Amino acid sequence: MRIAFLVAPEGVEQVELTEPWQAVVDAGAEPVLVSVEPGTVQAFHHLDKGDTFPVDQVVGEVAPDEFDGLVLPGGVANPDRLRTEEAAVAFVRAFCELGRPVAAICHAPWTLIEADVVRDRTLTSWPSLATDIRNAGGIWVDEQVKVCDGAAPTLITSRKPDDLKAFCEAFMAEFTRGAAA
């Protein structure tokens, strides 16, 4: 099972990248860091610089059908940049059109909104995105993790780093179920 992690060159919340990444590794699957530029990505601990991570593949040079699932880590700057990159938005939209599960935490649903895949779907996120989700036709709830699996694709969303354990468990269950199907 291959899982794509889509991040901007700078601004991903480090723990929202590293904990889900480790969950994928622990499950015996292959995580792949995808970005809009080659090189490395600069992670952050809130507003302070964290570690850098090597990009495995660049959007536009890789196809969503090569993966069994997609993880969109948060941080404020990360999804804000991704939603302005047409190739990144198209990558997310293509995942959804294929019916592959997508997991997004914290501010990452901004990219889902830009891809126009939240209409009539129930999601959770960092609370400041509630109005954005509603304005895009989605239903926002304040829950630790929300699995919206009534229609393809399954969207797995979570609010914040404190919810990472439940988020990782939920998306790995969905990714495993999807890969088996």
Q: What is the pLDDT of residues 154-172, one digit of tens each?
A: 999 999 999 999 999 999 9
Supply the CATH classification number for the domain 2-180: 3.40.50.880
Catalytic annotation, pick one of 45, 46, 96, 106: 106
User: 173 vs 9, 24, 27, 122, CA distance in Å?
Assistant: 28, 11, 10, 18
Closest CA to 92 of 167, 6, 14, 15: 6
Name the residue ranges covered by the structural domains of the chain: 2-180
As to burial, measured by CB atoms within 10 angstroms (0-12 exposed, 13-18 middle, 19+ buried), residue 40 is middle
For 65, the token pair is 């059908």
Model confidence, pTM: 0.97
Catalytic (active site) residue 106 = yes
The answer, yes or no, to whether residue 178 has pLDDT greater than 80, is no
How many angstroms separate the first and last alpha carbons of the chain?
A: 12
Catalytic (active site) residue 45 = no
Q: Would you tell me how many other CB atoms lie within 10 Å of the CB of residue 25?
A: 12
Q: Would you tell me how many other CB atoms lie within 10 Å of the CB of residue 142?
A: 10
User: 54 vs 9, 10, 35, CA distance in Å?
Assistant: 10, 12, 10
Catalytic annotation, pick one of 45, 46, 96, 107: 107
For 32, the token pair is 């792949």
**β-strands 40-45, 48-54 pairing:** antiparallel
Q: State the pLDDT confidence band at 6, using cuts at 50, 70 and 90.
A: very high
Q: Would you tell me how many other CB atoms lie within 10 Å of the CB of residue 94?
A: 15
Q: State the pLDDT confidence band at 151, using cuts at 50, 70 and 90.
A: confident
Over residues 81-109, the mean pLDDT reads: 97
The answer, yes or no, to whether residue 20 has pLDDT greater than 90, is yes
Q: State the pLDDT confidence band at 148, using cuts at 50, 70 and 90.
A: confident
What is the pLDDT at residue 69? 96
Query: What is the residue whose two structure tokens read 């941080």?
Result: 75
Over residues 42-70, the mean pLDDT reads: 96
